């Protein structure tokens, strides 16, 4: 049976900033409420890559968890992105997130320093030991520099609090093997791969375009679960222009541009990201329209 420890539809929420670049706590609360109430999210990831975690402070991360939990706690699970390439710092972030009210942790593969698989496993289990929260690992080798090997995932699954994987490795055979051998829940980390991943036993998606098409993406997931495969495929094809178009440049840039176009909280991005150009916004509007969304 497919497991859904964090539900089916999750978005890695952008972090709204004020015009001066400071954290917009009111905007974060309003955006989270809109995603849950209007887009049907089961959970939100805060301070993931899409939330500009490399450029937010530890204090901002904790504040963000507190305000979003106050806004939507009880209606959606709050998953805190705590992964860094420093295990001690990651443990600190995990403990802080737990105290602030997070209900789960997203733990990305340590990046840049490229530890061996033994180091990855020790990193993951050390962080999982540090709190009582369930952990979703994030396997994204094109950003982190290394994959989480199949045997590492199988061994990590032995830890009682390591329960899920956000999978952006896009290796269907490896994913299928881990699903066959463990009880880990897999969530697609690439929006366009959600339907194919459901076919091998995945639980849902941790999305980016789902800021705008969350409700219809969830419809696709539920249609597949009901056995209505043709309907799920039709929805996949309808949504594909935005599943892929949101990544024409860095996803956070385009999500914030689209949210601003809708009058929703977003604000600017922080350097080294730069805000979308007029041409990029025009292209986003075309991609969104092709997927049935007016921005």
Q: Would you please indicate which residues are annotated as catalytic (active-site) residues?
A: 138, 166
Q: Is the peptide bond before 211 cis (omega within 30 degrees of 0)?
A: no
Q: Where are the alpha helices (DSSP H) in the chain?
A: 25-39, 58-72, 87-100, 117-130, 141-144, 150-156, 172-181, 194-198, 210-225, 229-245, 251-261, 278-290
CB environment 100-120: b (16+ within 10 A), e (fewer): bbbbbbbbbbbbeeebebeeb
Stated as kind and residue range, the H or E segment containing 204 is strand 204-207
Q: Helix, strand, or coil here: 88?
A: helix
Angle at alpha carbon of residue 283, lines to 282 and 288, rounded to 5°: 100
């Amino acid at each position: 049976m497919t497991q859904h420890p964090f539900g089916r539809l999750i978005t890695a929420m952008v972090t709204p900033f004020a015009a001066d670049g400071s954290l917009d706590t009111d905007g974060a609360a309003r955006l989270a409420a809109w995603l849950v109430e209007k887009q049907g999210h089961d959970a939100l990831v805060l301070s993931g890559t899409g939330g500009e975690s490399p450029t937010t402070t530890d204090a901002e991360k904790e504040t963000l968890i507190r305000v979003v939990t106050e806004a939507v706690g009880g209606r959606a699970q709050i998953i805190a992105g705590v992964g860094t390439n420093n295990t001690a710092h990651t443990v600190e972030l995990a403990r802080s997130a737990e105290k602030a009210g997070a209900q789960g942790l997203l733990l990305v593969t340590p990046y840049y320093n490229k530890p061996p698989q033994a180091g990855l496993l020790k990193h993951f289990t050390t962080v999982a030991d540090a709190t009582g929260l369930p952990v979703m690992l994030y396997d994204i080798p094109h950003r982190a520099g290394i994959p989480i090997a199949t045997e590492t995932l199988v061994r990590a699954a032995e830890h009682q609090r390591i329960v899920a994987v956000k999978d952006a490795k896009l290796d269907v055979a490896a994913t299928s093997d881990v699903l066959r051998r463990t009880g880990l829940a897999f969530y697609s980390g690439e929006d366009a791969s959600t339907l194919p991943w459901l076919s091998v036993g995945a639980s849902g998606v941790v999305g980016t375009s789902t800021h705008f098409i969350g409700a219809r993406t969830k419809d696709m997931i539920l249609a597949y679960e009901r056995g209505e495969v043709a309907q799920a495929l039709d929805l996949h094809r309808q949504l594909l222009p935005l599943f892929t178009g949101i990544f024409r440049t860095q996803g956070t840039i385009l999500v914030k541009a689209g949210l601003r176009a809708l009058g929703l909280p977003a604000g600017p991005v922080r350097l080294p990201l730069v805000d979308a150009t007029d041409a990029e916004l025009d292209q986003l509007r075309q991609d969104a329209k092709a997927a049935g969304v007016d921005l």
